[in-house]
Amino acid sequence: MKAKKISFVVVILAVILITACDGAQMTEVISSEVPEIENNETRLTDDEHQAEKQKDPPLVSDSEPHLRSNNIITPKNANQLVEIQSYKNAPVFDFAWSPDGNTLALATSSRVSLIDIHTHEEIIWDSKKNFPSIGHFISFNPNGEMLAVSSGKQVEIYDTESQTKLFILDDFEDMGVFGIAFSPDNTKLATGWGHPWLPDTGSVKIWDMSSGKLVTELGRNLKETICNLAFNQEGDLLGTIGVEGQVRIWNILEETEVISFTGTSGYGESIAFSPDGSLLAVGGAASDGRSYSYKPAELHLFDLSSGDLLFDLEGHQSLVRSLSFNKDGDVLASASMDGTVHLWNPHTGQQLAFFDISDQTSDWTSVSFSPDGTRLATAGYGDVLRLWGVP
């Protein structure tokens, strides 16, 4: 009798251990070491990468994914991020979070679409467009009622509920439209335009979102191609970065330039205000903006009040294309054409973690924190859309 009882207990313990191990499996843990891009040690092999892709869930799933979490991504847990979801799709040029954090808008090689991160449902919005390869060119307005998409030489404004086109902004002299940004008060859209290889072109145009009419133009006399731009949280300042790396901060109400300084020594590509408005992150590459060379990478943090350089953030191997601060402003994410994403402490300049999301050595990678700071989304032309979070 005792032998039977002991056997029964052993079986029960074995079942418990197996169940616990299955529940503890993670997809991929981020490393806090600097990647060696040249020897490709951190990248998956072709067979491993194909196996990972085969494990990706379908776009629409009957199961309820475990995506809800109250864990804010902070400097203390940034190196614990794991991949919690991936979405099969066409190569992604750029994406944007909805203000409520439930939806991601994608600009892919085949279409504009929306993905519900909880149900995996995809709504195809529009057919293939000629997206620019510069700047941030898809964005929700702050209340989520509009979606702006730059498609080459014009910007299209959609109503998100009816999916109808409200305005087409096309007064850009047949040039490219790059960075776009809604003002925090929902009233304006700022657009950067010009031509990367033609001198004396470009400016910032500000549009009224109630009518679709042009309100004003900043820096017309500078004739500088604007690669990207961003509002601060208060909405009184607009930061821009030009094709040759010049940063300018504009007072929107007074339409005056507050401060300007050199953001990168060559090609300017990305710009982001910290949530409290004290810091400005700037990314790009040291090479000439009118060439096809995007190395070496440059990523800098500046004191916004003075324009003084605080930190050179070293680790990327090619042009830094995308930047995002988390909700509290104590983590900065950067994405590069080298296919990697790095996480930084912007107050110390310390690298917190990095991970390699692409099997391509040259990739238009984008990164963005969810509005509540609990998720990090990554995507690229050589990779699917992925969500990362704290386990």
Prediction pTM value:
0.83
DSSP 8-state class, residue 265: S
pLDDT at 130: 75
Most confident of 26-40, 114-128, 167-181: 167-181
Domain boundaries, the chain: 37-389
Question: What b-and-e string marks burial along 124-146, b requiring 16 or more CB atoms within 10 Å of the CB?
Answer: ebeeebebbebbbbbbbbbeeeb
Pairing verdict, β 176-182 and 165-169: unpaired
Q: Which CATH class is domain 37-389?
A: mainly beta
The mean per-residue pLDDT over the stretch 336-364 comes to 89
Is the dihedral angle over the CA atoms 135, 140, 220, 232 positive or is it negative? negative
Could you tell me the pLDDT band of residue 21, with boundaries at 50, 70 and 90?
very low
The mean per-residue pLDDT over the stretch 247-272 comes to 95
DSSP 8-state class, residue 235: S
Residue 16 has pLDDT above 70, yes or no: no
> Which backbone phi and psi does 267 adopt, to 5 degrees?
-85, 120
The mean per-residue pLDDT over the stretch 123-138 comes to 80
CA distance 352 to 75: 7
The mean per-residue pLDDT over the stretch 53-78 comes to 59
CA distance 103 to 184: 19
In tens, the pLDDT along 164-194 reads 999 999 999 889 899 999 999 999 999 999 9
pLDDT at 281: 98
DSSP 8-state class, residue 81: -
pLDDT at 91: 83
pLDDT at 292: 59
In tens, the pLDDT along 360-378 reads 666 789 999 999 999 999 9
pLDDT at 361: 62
pLDDT at 166: 95
Residue 62 has pLDDT above 80, yes or no: no
> Which backbone phi and psi does 72 adopt, to 5 degrees?
-75, 135
CA distance 308 to 286: 19
pLDDT at 224: 92
pLDDT at 67: 54
> Which backbone phi and psi does 130 adopt, to 5 degrees?
-90, 85
Q: What are the tokens at 241?
A: 């970065």
Most confident of 4-8, 54-58, 298-302: 298-302
The mean per-residue pLDDT over the stretch 124-132 comes to 76
Q: Higher confidence at residue 187 or residue 51?
A: 187
Q: How many CB atoms lie within 10 A of CB 53?
A: 14
Q: What is the CA radius of gyration of the chain?
A: 22
In tens, the pLDDT along 207-241 reads 999 999 999 999 989 989 999 999 999 999 999 99
Q: How far, CA to CA in Å, does 23 sit from each of 10, 19, 67, 87, 367?
A: 20, 6, 15, 22, 28
29 three-state secondary structure: strand
* One-letter identity of residue 12: I
pLDDT at 290: 55
pLDDT at 288: 57
